[in-house]
Amino acid sequence: MITKDLSIIREKLKQGELIGLPTETVYGLAANVFNSKAVASIFTTKNRPTTNPLIVHVASINQVRALVKRFPEKASLLAKHFWPGPLTMILPKNQVVSGLVTADNDHVAIRIPNHPTALSLLNQLDFPLVAPSANPFNRISPTTAEHVDAYFPSIYTLDGGPCSSGVESTIVGFEDDEVILLRHGAISMEILESQVGRLLNRTAASEHASLPGQHKKHYSPNCQLIVTYEPLFMLSAIKHKKVGILWYQSVPIESIYVEVNLVLAPSGDLAEAAQNLFSALHTLDKMGLDLIIVERLPAQGLGNTMNDRLDRAATQ
């Protein structure tokens, strides 16, 4: 069910139920962080392993301070520049955060979302919300209320329009005086580095990957997906299949062997491509194709974030 009525959503959350939450990244499946039963039901509803920890969403820095033991200086600096926004910070938790939320880690992932509807809801609640993406485990992330409703029709989803970033938050941790990049996301590594200097890269693609819950397979459509710089070259090797191609900027040649061509960002703007990525995958996923071929994005800025998601969508 889709609603714009904040009072319904508030009531559901107070009763310990899950709701669909709009944010600027993707829609979340949200619950009261302090209600263990509600938190547990996030894992069962999504079919998500309990070893995969959840991100806590709050409305203010004061609410962050209530959940953590320490707030490193570099975290303050990042918060000043990027909160509210699509940056998640891993911080040492205090005893009010249960191990169920953090998969028994002594650190908790926290962010302040930059979405007016999410912020007004959070400001009206006296508890933060845990909210992983509102998709069954391994499936394509939702970027509209309708995507969430198609996955979970019996849950109330708060309609906040299409997500403006369209990909998940960037995740960073802290060690001594270093900032560690743990997941590529809606804020590019380059933009973060322009504010805090060099980051240590320990994302899934790096050999030092260390983040819990960084499953290789994720974001998958129902059919096979291939990511390549040369979609038409791949096509020539495949016969008798119903194929859709997702292009970055334009369609170079209209091949008669292609059922559907979609373009992510005619302007070439990577932010526009990120905004459209999951939505385009949902569209292709509904077409009953045998194969989706996606043109790999340039390996810079948000291109790295999208390539990370696509490589995981391509993992069988």
What is the binding site for ligand AMP (CB under 6 A)? 52-53, 55, 90, 102, 105, 107-109, 132-133, 168, 171, 211-214
Dihedral of the CA atoms 109, 115, 120, 125 (nearest 10)?
Answer: -20
- Binding of residue 102 to Mg ion (CB under 5 A): no
**By the rule CB under 5 A, 305 interacts with Mg ion:** no
Question: How far apart are CB 49 and Mg ion at their closest, in Å?
Answer: 12
- For residue 109, the partner it binds in Mg ion, ligand AMP, none, with Cβ less than 5 to 8 A by kind, is ligand AMP
Widest pairwise Cα distance in the chain: 61
Question: What is the nearest approach in angstroms of ligand AMP to the Cβ of residue 107?
Answer: 5
Q: Please, which residue, 29 or 158, has the CB nearer to ligand AMP? A: 29
Of the pair 35, 135, the CB lying nearest Mg ion is at: 135
Asked whether position 133 contacts Mg ion by CB under 5 A, the answer is yes
What is the pairing mode between strands 28-32 and 19-21? antiparallel
Q: Measured from the CB of residue 212, what is the shortest distance to ligand AMP in angstroms?
A: 5
> Which of the choices ligand AMP, Mg ion, none does residue 90 contact, using the CB cut-off of 5 to 8 A by kind?
ligand AMP
107 binds, among ligand AMP, Mg ion, none (CB under 5 to 8 A by kind): ligand AMP
Q: Which is nearer to ligand AMP, 50 or 261 (CB)?
A: 50
The listed partner (ligand AMP, Mg ion, none) that binds 108, CB under 5 to 8 Å by sort, is: ligand AMP
Distance in Å, CB of 46 to Mg ion, minimum: 8
* Least Å from the CB of residue 267 to ligand AMP: 27
Tell me the C-alpha distance between 148 and 141, whole Å: 9
Q: How far is the CB of 220 from Mg ion (least distance, A)?
A: 12
Which partner, ligand AMP, Mg ion, none, binds residue 214 by CB below 5 to 8 Å per kind? ligand AMP
Task: Single out the residue of 77, 57, 75 nearest to residue 67, CA to CA.
Answer: 57
Residue least distant from Mg ion (Cβ): 133
Residues that bind Mg ion (CB under 5 A): 133
